[in-house]
Amino acid sequence: MKTFKVHLLSANRTFYEGECESLVVPAVDGQYGVLAGHSNAITAIVPGKLAFRAPGGDVQEAAVSSGIMKIEDNDVLVLAESILRPEEIDEERAEREAADAREALLQKLGRQQYYSAQAQLARAVTKLKIRRAYLRGGHRTK
């Protein structure tokens, strides 16, 4: 299978850089898939599940926050606030974040605070879904 170069970068680290056979990111209008030879594009990323396959490997999944993806000449750059492997997600913390966001949404908030709480809830729920799917798959962590 043909490959392309990918750079998956979060605010505090390089998540993955190297060759890639396929990449799927959550976008505003649904899942956005990339294969080698994709046309040049820029799209916004929303909180959700990111999946990619390195050459000859299994599909790897991660929780991604909002960000942006740029595709140019078979080189893909993903910049996101956070990208976490399932085993890196603290389930208890994500539960607290979701509860805090739900509580904030019940308050009379200004528009900006409301949107911020919605985004926080989306990030927390995404982390929980990915972590729980990972654990159901038989993977266990320390």
At residue 26, the pLDDT reads: 96
Torsion angle, alpha carbons of 79, 80, 84, 89, to 10: 170
- Write a three-state SS string for the chain: CCCEEEEEEECCCEEEEEEECEEEEEECCEEEEEECCCCCEEEEECCEEEEEECCCCCEEEEEECCEEEEEECCEEEEEECCEECHHHCCHHHHHHHHHHHHHHHHCCCCHHHHHHHHHHHHHHHHHHHHHHHHHHCCCCCC
Tokens describing residue 42? 């820029």
Question: What is this structure's pTM?
Answer: 0.83
Under CATH, to which class is 4-84 assigned?
Answer: mainly beta
Residue 108: the pLDDT is 75
Residue 139's pLDDT is 62
Phi, psi of 104 (to 5 degrees): -60, -35
For the chain, the domains span 4-84, 90-136
The owner of tokens 């492997």 is 85
pLDDT of res. 142: 41
Q: What is the pLDDT along the chain (142 residues), one digit of tens a residue?
A: 899 999 999 999 999 999 999 999 999 999 999 999 999 999 999 999 999 999 999 999 999 999 999 999 999 999 999 999 999 999 999 999 999 999 988 887 788 888 888 888 988 999 999 999 888 886 654 4
Measure the CA–CA gap between 62 and 34, rounded to whole angstroms. Answer: 16
pLDDT of residue 39: 96
The pair of structure tokens assigned to 113 is: 């605070």
Residue 109 confidence (pLDDT):
78
